[in-house]
Amino acid sequence: MTAGCMPDDLHAKIGQTIMIGFPGRRESDPGVKAIRAQLQEGTVGGVVLFPDNISSKAQLKALIAALRETRSDLPPFIAVDQEGGAVQRLRTRKGFGWFPSAALVGKNPSLDSQEIAEAIYAEMATELAELGFNMNLGPVVDINTNPNNPVIGARGRSFGSDPDTVAPIAAAFINAHHAANVATVAKHFPGHGSSAVDSHRKLADISHSWQNLELEPYRRLALQGLLDAVMIGHLYHPRFSDLERLPASLSAKAVDALRASDGIGFDGVVMSDDLEMGAIRDAFTPEEAAVRAIKSGTDIVVFSNIERGDLNFGTRIHHALAVAVCDGRIGTARIEEAYRRIVRLKEQLKTKTLPRAW
């Protein structure tokens, strides 16, 4: 870490803005030892788990317990993508429950009432909580305006083609998770449903396909006080991008649209989508992406670290952010602001006070 340019408490606050993936499944694995040390030292503030980290319920529960016990003051976010359908990191062949896709829930008359949807997602949330997870990187609140969209519509990840379908089921998803004391992350702002390409592969240009109605689920969930965190997608639209071809995930315009009182009016945690996806990786180093995202107003930067499996990747990102604070590219106030939001959500988890509403 950069020595002498900032107080230790600011280093700790920078650490809270980093969520990272890691290799390994057991406490004795080098990757798990490394990430536990980074959590304990405050180098990173959260982790995201992927299928490679998971072999069985007993193994996963032990792994998460080892991660959570690293901090008692600010417990780490232990996150996973568990949407149902095509995106389930906890797979049935490894002994976990099966859950229908968002599309199936949204279009099936026997499943799409809020009460039935909440019952489905209560099972999901209960399983997550029993394993030790405290954050689910869902629900997807994208409107399915392009059914051929390779990453949303074609994979059944949207609840439906209009906000009147999407918003109530998303509320049921969030309510169920809150009842189990699991935080949620609505995604992918400002809306991935109309895209024609997969942002895992390259930047998704939604300049001519995006519609204003794609903001409506965020508005409704914010009005109900249900948004814990919002994930910004690697999407290009002039309204949400600071420069031509710059993703919303690295742009202050996108965060401003979320924060503005005449926009969504959201004051919770803003997260990036995985900053190692093709849309970002092709144009920026991980360090550049992290600095740009935090500077633009994002509170937590997410790196999957799947392909590289770098045991010191969290330290590397922390160092890049610390240097950017030291040389003035990121203001101290920006770190303090992010820290305040992150701590507020972690305190809600500690005190089991995540809100519930219809």
Tokens of 257: 């649209």
Mean pLDDT of the chain: 95
For residue 200, indicate whether it is catalytic. Answer: yes
Question: Residue 36 and residue 348: Cα distance in Å, rounded?
Answer: 23
Reported as a single tens digit per residue, the pLDDT across 24-57 is 999 999 999 999 999 999 999 999 999 999 999 9
Q: Which alpha helices (DSSP H) does the chain contain, by range?
A: 8-15, 30-41, 57-68, 102-107, 114-131, 163-179, 216-223, 252-259, 278-281, 286-296, 313-326, 332-351
Indicate the pLDDT class of residue 328, thresholds 50, 70 and 90: very high
Which residues make beta-bridge pairs with 20? 47, 303
Tokens of 269: 């945690």
Indicate the pLDDT class of residue 4, thresholds 50, 70 and 90: low
Question: Residue 232 and residue 244: Cα distance in Å, rounded?
Answer: 17
Do the Cβ atoms of 141 and 88 come closer than 8 Å?
no
Reported as a single tens digit per residue, the pLDDT across 184-214 is 999 999 999 999 987 788 889 999 999 999 9
**Catalytic-labelled residue, pool 200, 205, 267, 319:** 200
**Catalytic-labelled residue, pool 81, 273, 274, 299:** 273
Residue 174 has pLDDT above 70, yes or no: yes
Range 51-64 average pLDDT: 97
Indicate the pLDDT class of residue 279, thresholds 50, 70 and 90: confident
For residue 188, indicate whether it is catalytic. Answer: no
Task: Please count the other Cβ atoms lying within 10 Å of the Cβ belonging to residue 355.
Answer: 13
Please work out, in degrees rounded to the nearest 5, the angle formed at the alpha carbon of residue 145 by the alpha carbons of 150 and 301: 60
Reported as a single tens digit per residue, the pLDDT across 218-256 is 999 999 999 999 999 999 999 999 999 999 999 999 999
